[in-house]
Amino acid sequence: MTTAARTALHALPLEQLRRRSSTKWRTYPEDVLPLFVAETDFPLAEAITARLREALELGDTGYTPPDPGLRTAFAAYAQRHFGWTVQPDRIRSTCDVMMGVVEILRAVIAPGDRVIVAPPVYPPFFDCVEEAGGVVERVPLIDVDGSWILDLAGIERALAGGARAVLLCNPHNPTGTVHSRSVLAQLAEIAADHGAVVVSDEIHAPLVHPGVEYTPFLAASPRATEVGYTVTSASKAYNLAGLKCAVMVTASEETAAVVRTLPPEVEWRTGLFGALAAVAAWNPASDPWLEALRVALDDNRRLLGRLLAEQLPEARYRLPDAGYLAWVDLRDLGWGDDPASRILREARVALNRGPTFGDEGRGHVRINLGCSPDVLTEAVLRIAALVRR
Ligand SMILES: Cc1ncc(COP(=O)(O)O)c(C=O)c1O
């Protein structure tokens, strides 16, 4: 890597962040360090700021047009970053990733059908299966030689028992796991054999760490193109969650036809600012910003490892393959199922509570690393001080 590519993006100072009005900054009082919800503390990419500023100056705040440029922008981005060829006409937009997931699930399952999720997993996965009329079937990740992987045998049993769909998280939140091409191809094979579908949430894909090979589900194998639906957005990597825009991608005539049956409102609810910002994010002009963000996050995931080893050796942590979320096992501290509650109360650090990710999350916390090294250090020191009390 060249020196220029190692330039890290710097998070904004806390005084500035505290003026933000988003969930991360308005849920807790000022003495709490917020390292919970998946928002990041960095300045926006300049191309995004410029595009939104131009729209604001024009009062360009109306409805989103049928094709605000998302299709060609995402197709070019997928090719450039993931080597994934997507046909622009197989891309449809919606207001956020979870809405895309719910509406696709609703279209492919019948009420009461079982949908497989792999806990510990992003908590809304449980709710969105129910919102789509399905019933959650849990097939937890398995720990093989220190890596979290999908339990393909368990998934196959669930599909053979009648489950109709798999809700995949690739990269996986909260463990940061990037599923291998071989695992994804096997998953596609199993799903196809049982006439089931795979809905793949790939929102964290732009943030894969150095040395990790990422495979979009639809690029895993020809079978994956037949059974898969991908939902993704620029909202995690580029911190645009409040602007409401995501894309649904398919790679076969049959799956594209299913997406065309979704109610027009699903696409109509795409936020115009979200679409403008996503097009700017996916433009090559924003690539250097993304690279600098990835350097900062790579540094932070390693910094957390060092801090925990020095300050909180009871904690067990594996470097995430992707993203800015760290899954930390605090069971050895003996703080019960929900250590995040005590940490919030007594250390004044807000983390995500492990049990909300499924039973497998008992005794765990999720830490958001998308902050400055100083904030991350202060958070760990506060937690460590609790142990020494
Ligand atoms: C895996 C995953 N999917 C979806 C979302 C939420 O995306 P959206 O706000 O677009 O629904 C998040 C947010 O953290 C996430 O981690």
pLDDT > 70? residue 5: no
pLDDT of residue 218: 98
In a domain, 367, yes or no: yes
CATH of the domain at 121: 3.40.640.10
pLDDT of residue 388: 86
Q: Compute the distance from residue 4 Cα to the ligand 1 centre, in Å.
A: 31
Taken as a whole, the chain contains a residue count of: 389
Higher pLDDT, 206 or 388: 206
pLDDT > 70? residue 51: yes
Same domain for 262 and 290, yes or no, is no
Same domain for 128 and 144, yes or no, is yes
Same domain for 75 and 29, yes or no, is no
In a domain, 248, yes or no: yes
Average pLDDT, the chain: 97
Same domain for 125 and 269, yes or no, is yes
- Last residue of some domain: 238, 253, 282? 282
Same domain for 220 and 192, yes or no, is yes
Q: Compute the distance from residue 183 Cα to the ligand 1 centre, in Å.
A: 23
Give the Cα-Cα-Cα angle 178, 184, 188 (nearest 5 degrees): 155
Label residue 389 by pLDDT band (50, 70, 90).
Answer: confident
Same domain for 40 and 69, yes or no, is no
- Last residue of some domain: 282, 298, 328? 282
Same domain for 312 and 374, yes or no, is yes
CA 323, CA 277: separation in Å to the nearest integer?
Answer: 20
pLDDT of residue 2: 45
Same domain for 270 and 147, yes or no, is yes
In a domain, 144, yes or no: yes
Cβ 235 under 6 angstroms from ligand 1: yes
Q: How many domains does the chain have?
A: 2
In a domain, 163, yes or no: yes
- pLDDT, one tens digit per residue, over 175-226 is 999 999 999 999 999 999 999 999 999 999 999 999 999 999 999 999 999 9
Note the Cα 306 to chain centre separation in Å: 24
Least reliable range by pLDDT among 24-28, 64-68, 105-109, 337-341: 64-68
pLDDT > 70? residue 3: no
Query: Which parts of 31-78 are beta strand (E)?
Result: 33-34
Same domain for 37 and 180, yes or no, is no
Which strands sit side by side in the sheet containing 364-368, from one edge to the other? Answer: 316-317, 325-329, 364-368, 352-353
Same domain for 208 and 329, yes or no, is no
Cβ-proximal residues to 214 (8 Å cutoff; 6+ apart), any chain: 82, 171, 178, 205, 208, 322
Q: What is the CA radius of gyration of the chain?
A: 20
Q: Could you give the percent of the chain with pLDDT greater than 70?
A: 99
Same domain for 277 and 290, yes or no, is no
Cβ 122 under 6 angstroms from ligand 1: yes
Look at residue 362 and give its three-state secondary structure: coil
In a domain, 297, yes or no: yes
Same domain for 254 and 305, yes or no, is no
135 is in which domain, residue-wise? Answer: 63-282
- pLDDT, one tens digit per residue, over 139-179 is 999 999 999 999 999 999 999 999 999 999 999 999 999 99
The pair of structure tokens assigned to 225 is 């193109």
Cβ 150 under 6 angstroms from ligand 1: no
Cβ 231 under 6 angstroms from ligand 1: no
Cβ-proximal residues to 10 (8 Å cutoff; 6+ apart), any chain: 42, 296, 372
